[in-house]
Structure 1
Amino acid sequence: MPSFETIDDIPPNSRVLVRLDLNSPIEDGEPQDNRRFSRHARTVQDLANAGHRVVLMAHQGRPGREDFTSLEGHAKLLSSYLDRDVAFVGDVFGDEALGAIEAVDAGEVLLLENTRMCADELPEEPPEAKAETAFVQTLSAVFDAYVNDAYSAAHREHASLVGFPLVLPSYAGRVMVAEYEANTAITTRDFDGPVTMVIGGTKATDVIEVMAEVGDLVDRFLLGGVAGELFLRAAGHPVGTDVEGSELYDDQWERNHETIERVLEERREEIHLPTDLAYEDDEGERAEVMVEDIDEKTTAFFDVGSATVEAYAPKIRDSEAVFVKGALGMFEDERFAIGTVGVLETIGESDCFSVIGGGDTSRAITLYGLSEDDYSHVSIAGGAYIRALTGEPLPGVEALQKGP
């Protein structure tokens, strides 16, 4: 258990400032529902039910991007998961925000405006510098406690994440505790049987770094996605290169091929590569080809093949723990969901301890009607999950542990 206190330790009748991560896809100007709202709702509900005066802050997008917008819609979405309304104020720490904070009664909930609309928030600086900003100094003066529930943003040194713990009594929310325990299990827990890591996705640079860092903590790797093709390329197969309309492979190969080749050489027995790949044929249907039959890559591959899924299944069933980072194919297209869904189904049916990495992979669970209850933990973290797997420190967690 990490060395920080939880929301159960907050003194009664406190005015509490709570950092959530409600960053969401934006469509037609409105935030889209996702796991983050339902997960964070438990922390908010528990705090409100305990009689605290609850004030929330979160971010959405970055300045200059299309998804950089107000949090007014987020307040409405969050309300749908609570038994009370979430009020909203279009200000972060100015007079309007301070007035709204003062008006919050016991058991009421208020959401402040997007923290990234505040100039003090974004530049990544040490916690000591962030603690001195006007943003942190102004708000901390009107609160009794700070809660960080935004594990998925804890890899950032932003004011709302690392500044407040230095000036206020600080506590971990429900999401923070659950994510921390599950995502660090690979380094903090002893497993009696094999530990397997499923590696996929399009951002091969991230997962290759994980493979290089986890060392003896993982007994076998099951590869797919872009990383799978790049490792096949390192093994001498004519794949893992860009074709017309694709820019995923050559650049990542240039940046990572030395690491890929080294990891493959050092751990060849533990690394399991796809034996077949799936592509779109001339009729627009899914087709599969054995890797050993590929003489030249002339078309894009969108999934691992059925033989690969079949070969990975017994390795998963034999595992004591399985950690997933990245989808094995372009599962958003049902034709190319066999790899990702097949592996997730096998994990869900087994008795292993399982952590499903955040982002796209966890989205497949909802998209294909799988049950979260079949997994030990479905993470809502992306970058923070990567850091946890590699043992890198998370500034938001460290600040919370350090305290004022």
Structure 2
Amino acid sequence: MTFKTLDDLTDIAGKRVLVRVDLNVPVKDGQVTDTTRIERVAPTIRELSEKGAKIILLAHFGRPKGEPVADMSLKAIAPAVEEILDQRVHFAADCIGDKAANAIAEMNDGDVLLLENTRFHKGEEKNDPAFVTALAANGDLYVNDAFSAAHRAHASTEGLAQHLPAYAGRTMQAELEALEKGLGNPKRPVVAIVGGAKVSTKIDLLQNLVKKVDALVIGGGMANTFLAAQGVDVGKSLCEHDLAETAKSIIAAAAAAGCAIVLPEDGVVAREFKAGADNAVVDIKAIPADAMVLDVGPKSVAAINDWISRAETLVWNGPLGAFEIAPFDKATVAAAKHAAARTRQGSLVSVAGGGDTVAALNHAEVADDFTYVSTAGGAFLEWMEGKPLPGVDILHKQK
């Protein structure tokens, strides 16, 4: 690894450790409804606490645009953090200044303190040097455990690492190690599955992947755009006809790079978008003019699973069909289960990420069987696009 981890932090009893975490969790009626992100950072917090450090948590919540917003206070999140850690979590009503300093002064070794939303200050998103200095005054060391915010060059994600000795937390470390196996230095053949509704949101991703993978499986609504570009009549299916030239250029780039493009051979069509709608499997060249493709068909699933069987590495972003409604979840579930089985056998490294992808793998009940499932959203996508991640790059530089 080319960055420092918690393994490099030994004699830290009594040290003030600023830990950037992701607590941007869904909340309904004042209650956290999904604690996944808190669970992910718990190991880092526990380890630092056991080593006797004073753990000072930095996080953002929502988009308050640089000023305090009552319902975006992290105070409401503290009880959920406390419950998962099974440890008291103190709270300070600001992340800089006297309120933060006074709360830190009262800490004992091993204590955990959550500071108020960093985005209550305009300096956070601007990575303002004065704000970074004010944050740095609260700590002796810096640990970044928020890969999900690593694509932003903010004060608490990038600026602090220029002021204090910087380390990757356990979640950050696991994510970076998994991503290295996925695209950085993967075992070949590498197969990528990219699905979802629109090509327009994933142009950079597709253009990067064709240069790095051996086969690119395209599913979801975006497959229709590629099919239409090749002259297939997709009926009333979701399709970005104006991106036909973009689709053709991606196909050409794949051919030049020796990357196979895998498009659906058949599709499950329906005339209405609802659970249990009347549906039929048709050849991809025989889509009725008044119908829409809502999933890939069994021939396509067989072809996709054949590619997964040949792969040593699988990178997955986006479902193959409208998995949220039955029966249009069948292809996504079948491919996910096949990838999970190969991973369990030790034959496949499987890395997946993106909100819909995580939901789809949970729906297929296989998320725990994949090598790594990233909850990072935007940061995961930007990594797949080959873009620099400031919060990660600065950790590499520090080493």
Question: Which interval holds the TM-score relative to the shorter structure?
Answer: 0.7 to 0.9
- Give 2:266's aligned amino acid: D
1:132 counterpart = 2:129: yes
1:114 counterpart = 2:117: yes
8 Å Cα contact 1:309/1:343 also seen in 2: yes
8 Å Cα contact 1:54/1:104 also seen in 2: no
Within the candidate set 362, 365, 376, 1:381 is matched to 376
- Give 2:294's aligned amino acid: F
What TM-score comes out, normalization by structure 1 length? 0.87
Find the aligned partners of 2:26 and 2:167 in 1 and give their Cα distance: 28
What are the superposed Cα offsets for residues 100-140 of structure 1, whole Å, 9 maximum, x if unpaired? 122221111111122211211123xxxxxx3612x321221
Find the aligned partners of 1:107 and 1:366 in 2 and give their Cα distance: 35
Within the candidate set 387, 390, 393, 1:392 is matched to 387
- Give 1:304's aligned amino acid: V
Q: Equivalent residue for 2:167?
A: 171
1:322 Cα deviation (Å)? Answer: 0.6
Q: Equivalent residue for 2:396?
A: 401
> Against the structure 1 CA distance between its residues 182 and 206, is the aligned structure 2 distance closer, same or farther, given a 3 Å change threshold?
farther
- Give 1:158's aligned amino acid: H
The alignment's C-alpha RMSD in Å is 2.5
Q: Equivalent residue for 1:85?
A: 88
Within the candidate set 251, 254, 257, 1:267 is matched to 254
1:222 counterpart = 2:222: no
1:303 counterpart = 2:303: no
Give 3-state SS (helix, strand or coil) of 2:268's partner. Answer: strand
**1:53-68 superposed matches below 5 A:** 53-63=54-64
Give the fraction of aligned pairs with identical amino acids, expressed as a percent. Answer: 38
Q: Equivalent residue for 1:22?
A: 23
**180-189 or 340-349, which moves further after superposition?**
180-189
**7-16 or 168-177, which moves further after superposition?**
7-16
Find the aligned partners of 2:181 and 2:222 in 1 and give their Cα distance: 23
Find the aligned partners of 2:52 and 2:367 in 1 and give their Cα distance: 33
8 Å Cα contact 2:38/2:84 also seen in 1: yes
Q: Equivalent residue for 2:196?
A: 201
Q: Equivalent residue for 2:6?
A: 7
1:280 Cα deviation (Å)? Answer: 4.4
> Against the structure 1 CA distance between its residues 309 and 28, is the aligned structure 2 distance closer, same or farther, given a 3 Å change threshold?
farther
Q: Equivalent residue for 2:32?
A: 31
1:153 counterpart = 2:156: no
Give 3-state SS (helix, strand or coil) of 2:202's partner. Answer: helix
Give 3-state SS (helix, strand or coil) of 1:51's partner. Answer: coil
1:312 counterpart = 2:304: yes
Find the aligned partners of 1:68 and 1:214 in 2 and give their Cα distance: 40
8 Å Cα contact 1:278/1:302 also seen in 2: yes
1:362 counterpart = 2:358: yes
Find the aligned partners of 1:322 and 1:165 in 2 and give their Cα distance: 32
Find the aligned partners of 1:242 and 1:395 in 2 and give their Cα distance: 42
Q: Which structure 2 residue ranges, 5 or more long, are not aligned?
A: none
- Give 1:275's aligned amino acid: E
8 Å Cα contact 2:5/2:167 also seen in 1: yes
8 Å Cα contact 2:236/2:291 also seen in 1: no
8 Å Cα contact 1:131/1:162 also seen in 2: no
Aligned residues: 384
Find the aligned partners of 1:72 and 1:367 in 2 and give their Cα distance: 32
Q: Equivalent residue for 1:188?
A: 184
